[in-house]
Structure 1
């Protein structure tokens, strides 16, 4: 198996038990991604602040970014590693789309298309989310959605309006 590019979306909107806010947690997650065996972080987007989707007025805004990794891995192993990092951060899953300490989503792995078992590739909702596509465009401007055949810029242009703003470079 040769080296493949992996796009990992990073998000958080709750502090970790150890302290620090969502931005610090996202930066911590990048360091944990960089420590994955056989993988290396090639690029990290700016950090973006976005409203929760679906809207939840009681939930704080999310900090979001995307990391571009390269290396040798298989989808199941990478997904398991992402879940381990989430667990280490203290992620709880009380209900779908709940506020979270850390969310790591595998968006794409070498352009693979998988319907199952998990992970589904490409991520089934990535093309609908500004908080994925805007940072993804920074680290992989030439990315083409493997099943839609559309480039990231075309996907961004087709997005429904969403509350999002860039607030910090890496």
Structure 2
């Protein structure tokens, strides 16, 4: 299989989020079917949706070349989440790690377990802004990611994270 470019979004707001994100990127890349291409700076973001009172998130976006098919990539992402004790109890609730497939080449997938491009990516500054920092020329379904970020309702809640 030829390598496909994929963009993954990672977020965490429980535990040692900064090290969790770094560990997750390394673990994603530590697979024979994955090659890390680029990683965005880390953003601190206000929670979007979910229960009130949860802590801010740390988010980043990473681009990979992969020879995994989209569903095998999803399985790999879930495996990395599980290694970081991810639980799915509350929709959009706090989590140790979330890994979402944003794009998988130019593929459009919509089945019972996977939708690509991610159905809400074009509205989420916590995905779009780090992606635009990583790749100012990036496009999502033909639209500049930076333009989508500028229009996203949650943009005011996104800042460059300069902590440890």
The TM-score by the shorter chain falls in which range? over 0.9
Show structure 1 runs of 5+ residues with no match.
16-20
Report what 1:14 is aligned to. 14
Q: CA deviation at 1:161?
A: 4.2
* Runs of at least 4 residues off by over 4 Å: none
1:134 aligns with 2:129: yes
TM-score normalised by structure 2 residue count: 0.92
Contact 2:48 2:154 in 1 (8 A): no
**How does the TM-score come out when normalised to structure 1?**
0.89
SS at match of 1:81: helix
Q: Do the aligned residues in 2 keep the contact of 1:9 with 1:105 (CA within 8 Å)?
A: yes
Provide the aligned C-alpha RMSD in A.
1.7
- C-alpha distance in 1 between matches for 2:148 and 2:10: 19
> Separation in 1 of the partners of 2:97 and 2:151?
27
Aligned length: 163
Task: Work out whether residues 137 and 152 of structure 1, in 8 Å CA contact, stay in contact via their aligned partners in 2.
Answer: yes
**Residue 50 of structure 1 is aligned with which of 45, 53, 59?**
45
Q: SS of the residue aligned with 1:168?
A: coil
How does 1:61-100 map onto structure 2 within 5 Å? 61-100=56-95
